Structure 1
Amino acid sequence: MAIKTSLVFLTASVLPVLGETILGLTVFTRHGDRNSKHYPGYGLTNLGFQQNFQTGGLYREIYLSSNSSKQILGISEDIYVPAQIWASAPDQKVLANTATAFLQGLYPPLEQLDPQIATNTLTNGTKYTNPLEGYQYVVLHTTDGESPNTIWIKGDDGCPAVTEVSGDFELSAEFMEREASTKSFYEGFWEQLQDVYDYTESKLSYARAYDIFDLINVAQIHNSSASENVTAEELFQLRTLADSAEFGLNFNASQPARSIHAQTLAGAILNQLNQTVTGKGKLKFSLLAGSYDTFLAFFGLTELTAVSPNFFGLPDYASTMAFEILTDKDVTEFPSSVDDLKVRFLFRNGSDAGAPLTPFPLFGQQETTLSWTEFTAQLGERAITTVEEWCGLCKSTESFCAAYDPSLSSGSIGINGSNSSGSGMSNAVAGVIGAMVTLAVVALAGLVFYLFTRKRKTAPPSSGASVGSVEKGSV
């Protein structure tokens, strides 16, 4: 029987506490509306861009506006200051665009805010603004799959341990019972899905719960004729089944490896918040863009599911988690002691107008605000904080893991990932390549000798500058 859950929170958004000062913020956001993941090349829709843009605008109103009692201490309200903002996303189209749209809402074009500060005047009197009405180019740090930094937001990618233990859920009695009991329900959607190129009616089952929900949900949003063929009740049932399937794949308290991606996100959150603390508030706002599966794993990891069964459900498009660093005093400078610091977790489901940014207690606690020491201890117990730890827990063969596992080095692994004594290149091929390399080295040495002797004949007297004397930033 399907578990009927949805993340619709009726609690009011957090109200500012008298005398309280917000010192910094780290936000993790989901992407907005997109095409179905089933098809290659999917991306954000216009609606999706708007959802992430509006979410960024909401955070601007709460944490940047001088009219807000929760304005972050010392943050630049209108002009982007690079030292105050850090944003990161995987080098994936949907997530990179998600962060970009959010940042556009956080720091919109300056001409819309104040034409005077948007304009630079040259000595000859000519005035210029940035293109696009003073567009502000907020730096976004993207990480590709070959970088060790990719683990902090997408810790399940390239992690065989996650794949292995997630498969255990699909072999569980719970999964198989649900698959059997919902088979006829799923087959009832064959008319809507028969044009999906790689689907057959026999494939319609709980085993593809999220994919089927995603295909039909996208059609409901963007195809008016398709929306007539699926009732609201059926769509809700598809979603709740997807909720249970995806949560089961991404978290199990007895198998920590299922939530490795949440553990690395916890490490990233700790790192960003700690930078704010150790830098005495220099870094004020951090943004990380990721996927729904990491949300679900994090909900389980931090025991939010004990607070409300709604946290078993998929977060809506453009949902956000936020971590405030604050002090319960009215201050004008960053506190000198960490004993004065606290952390509060908040969640906002979706981007609809009026959707509240609501505080929730973490780690089975009663209070929504924890001391800095308690928060870092609790999240630190659940976090992966080094690449070496991730490589070991994941049993990963990613290239950057070779630094921690000699068996992964290029000298001991063949082209197909096996030992070079096995199916690597043949001795004959290796001999040819070796001979070619030797010839190339000899030729290169000759060229260097020629250029060196020629330079000695033609070079002017030294100005005294060394090779490393070029100033940083001048290249």
Structure 2
Amino acid sequence: MTSTGARILGVLVLSMYGDKLGEYQNPYTYDSSGLALTPLGEVQEYQLGRYLWQTYFNDTSPSHVSEEVPLSTLLSGGGILFEADGGGDGRVIYDSATALTQGMWPPLSKSNLGNMTLANGTSVLSPLQGLQYIPIAPIDPADDVSFEGWLDCPTFWNATRSFYNSTDFKKVASDNAAFLDSLSSLVGNRTTNLTQMMGIYGFVNTEYIHNPAFHLATSSDTLTKTRQLANYYAAGVYSSSDMGSIHNIPGRALLPKILKGVNRLADLGDPLRFYSMSMSYEPFMSLFNMMGVSGTFANISGIINYAGAAAFEVRTDMYGNNPVIRFLVKNGTSDSGFTTYSLFGGTKDVSLKQFRTLLQPHSLNTLSSWCYTCDNNFSRGCEANSTIPVPPNPFANRSNNKLTAVASGLIGAGATLFVALLSVTVCMMTGFLKLGKRGKRLSAVMSAPGHHPRRGSDFKDGMDDDDVQLRKWDRMPDGQKSTV
């Protein structure tokens, strides 16, 4: 409930994608393709959207954000803003945002359906039972680092290696070696080292949800233990109690949008009242640690659940004057609603000024600041930063002077590229191939075979060429294979 004299000015919501499926392509690294939001994921996001509408746009809600402005005016006048990560999860995150908006603005009632009569007398009625079209801006990681700040970041790669080599990581790996080994047959003899923990958990969690044979063969204790190790891994890689740590790069890259967003919400001269961002789990982990909530509240210390959400409510104080920030989390569909959490070890409401003061020094407000922090001068718009030295090969395994499988793959790709270019040259010389506009596109594709610019670096262990014998639930028809 709002305090006496206080009112909510607006809200910024971060939302996690819903349940997804895909097809596993690599038996060692859990790489997958064809990722898609499932009907379950659509329902999860739709339900989150309904909850957000009831919380922030229902006239009877104490957190109503449009008391002075009609909802129709907010929609048409820039009062609502939706953004979604358009990166390496295919359309899963964007489709999750779409399902969320459908929950907030479902199809119109029959009495409100748009209709018109044409000059020739034909009557036309709005399709799809009056589905409302809410614009969502996709944020491409190739053009904007905000939603995926950890990609192509050599400083982050080095920090992750240091985490792998830390005494604590090695101890956790050793203490859980037997359990990890026991997962090998369960996951189709895939790699089960601690460094592959996110892939392991993704496989186990998705198969447990969607594969009846796997569900029967896997205990809930195994799923819980796997998630605990995944939480440990993700917390060590994507977060730190040191707010300025490179491990917090997911949160630090997103902070400019958050700080600008809450400033706009606090400005009554700005029409924005509701700002939604859909994304993956990494920024959640980083931000929760930076704001001091994950270390204090165990129930939100790990990977956020499917269709989870965090809200930054911008409110006036109890006297109706200075703006404050109230932070709330709904950790997936298992939570019936938002729970308020104290930020920075303080009270439930933090002044907007204090919120900015504590976070602004660690915010990467410009592309150049991100490029400098990551030591990147080779991608994502950092190419002009020629003063930054070219980083060392992040895939070189210096401990045994052997190349990892990733580096070997790059060498193989280079050899393939050489052969392909030689073939193209021969064809051009003999008149069999002429390059026009499509030819230029062909050469662009050939310059980076098999590389997806929006995917991050995989810290893969050494691999062998042995055939992997998959168990029966891993030999399912293509349409039933899955991943997280």
TM-score, normalised on structure 1? 0.74
SS of corresponding position for 1:363: coil
Deviation at 1:136, TM superposition (A): 1.4
Aligned residues: percent identity?
A: 24
Q: How big is each residue's C-alpha offset from its partner over 1:388-417, in whole Å with a ceiling of 9 and x where there is no partner?
A: 2111111122251235546799xxxxxx9x
Residue 296 in structure 1 maps to residue 292 in structure 2: no
From 366, 370, 378, the equivalent of 2:358 is 378
Residue 168 in structure 1 maps to residue 162 in structure 2: yes
Residue 263 in structure 1 maps to residue 263 in structure 2: no
Contact 2:18/2:307, CA 8 A, preserved across alignment: yes
Match of 1:389 in 2: 369
Cα distance 1:309–1:407, how it changes in 2: closer, same or farther (>3 A)?
closer
Match of 1:119 in 2: 114
Match of 1:235 in 2: 223
Distance 1:285 1:75 in 2: 12
Match of 2:214 in 1: 226
Distance 1:56 1:75 in 2: 20
Cα distance 1:372–1:187, how it changes in 2: closer, same or farther (>3 A)?
same
Distance 1:275 1:362 in 2: 20
SS of corresponding position for 2:62: coil
From 39, 52, 56, the equivalent of 2:45 is 52
Structure 1 letter corresponding to 2:357 = A
Deviation at 1:108, TM superposition (A): 1.4
Distance 2:326 2:383 in 1: 38
Cα distance 1:207–1:351, how it changes in 2: closer, same or farther (>3 A)?
same
Aligned pairs for 1:306-455 (under 5 A) are 306-328=295-317, 340-352=322-334, 355-365=336-346, 367-396=347-376, 397-405=378-386
Match of 2:238 in 1: 250
Deviation at 1:82, TM superposition (A): 5.3
Residue 146 in structure 1 maps to residue 142 in structure 2: yes
SS of corresponding position for 2:53: helix
Contact 1:78/1:110, CA 8 A, preserved across alignment: no
Cα distance 1:349–1:407, how it changes in 2: closer, same or farther (>3 A)?
closer
From 287, 301, 304, the equivalent of 2:276 is 287
SS of corresponding position for 1:193: coil
Deviation at 1:305, TM superposition (A): 2.6
Match of 2:85 in 1: 90
Match of 1:81 in 2: 76
Deviation at 1:304, TM superposition (A): 1.1
Distance 1:136 1:44 in 2: 20
Structure 1 letter corresponding to 2:47 = Q
Deviation at 1:17, TM superposition (A): 3.2
Residue 35 in structure 1 maps to residue 21 in structure 2: yes
Structure 2 letter corresponding to 1:237 = K
SS of corresponding position for 1:83: coil
Match of 2:107 in 1: 109
Cα distance 1:126–1:372, how it changes in 2: closer, same or farther (>3 A)?
farther
Residue 212 in structure 1 maps to residue 170 in structure 2: no
SS of corresponding position for 2:310: strand
Deviation at 1:163, TM superposition (A): 1.7
SS of corresponding position for 1:275: helix
Gaps of 5+ in 2: 23-29, 391-410, 412-424, 426-484
Query: Structure 1: which 4+ aligned runs deviate by more than 4 Å?
Result: 120-129, 403-409
Distance 1:105 1:249 in 2: 33
Distance 1:407 1:206 in 2: 33
Cα distance 1:142–1:47, how it changes in 2: closer, same or farther (>3 A)?
same
Q: How big is each residue's C-alpha offset from its partner over 1:7-42, in whole Å with a ceiling of 9 and x where there is no partner?
A: xxxxxxxx3434432111111111111126642222
Structure 2 letter corresponding to 1:304 = V
Deviation at 1:143, TM superposition (A): 2.3
Larger Rg: 1
Structure 2 letter corresponding to 1:381 = P
Cα distance 1:393–1:78, how it changes in 2: closer, same or farther (>3 A)?
same
Deviation at 1:300, TM superposition (A): 1.2
Structure 2 letter corresponding to 1:39 = S
Structure with more helix by fraction: 1
Deviation at 1:100, TM superposition (A): 1.1
Q: How big is each residue's C-alpha offset from its partner over 1:58-84, in whole Å with a ceiling of 9 and x where there is no partner?
A: 000000111212110345446833511
SS of corresponding position for 1:156: coil
Cα distance 1:351–1:82, how it changes in 2: closer, same or farther (>3 A)?
farther
SS of corresponding position for 1:40: strand
Distance 1:56 1:340 in 2: 29
How many residues end up aligned between the 2 structures? 380
Deviation at 1:167, TM superposition (A): 1.6
From 183, 188, 204, the equivalent of 1:189 is 183
Match of 1:277 in 2: 266
Contact 1:402/1:408, CA 8 A, preserved across alignment: no
Distance 1:47 1:132 in 2: 21
Deviation at 1:94, TM superposition (A): 1.3
Distance 1:323 1:128 in 2: 42
Contact 1:264/1:383, CA 8 A, preserved across alignment: yes
Residue 71 in structure 1 maps to residue 51 in structure 2: no
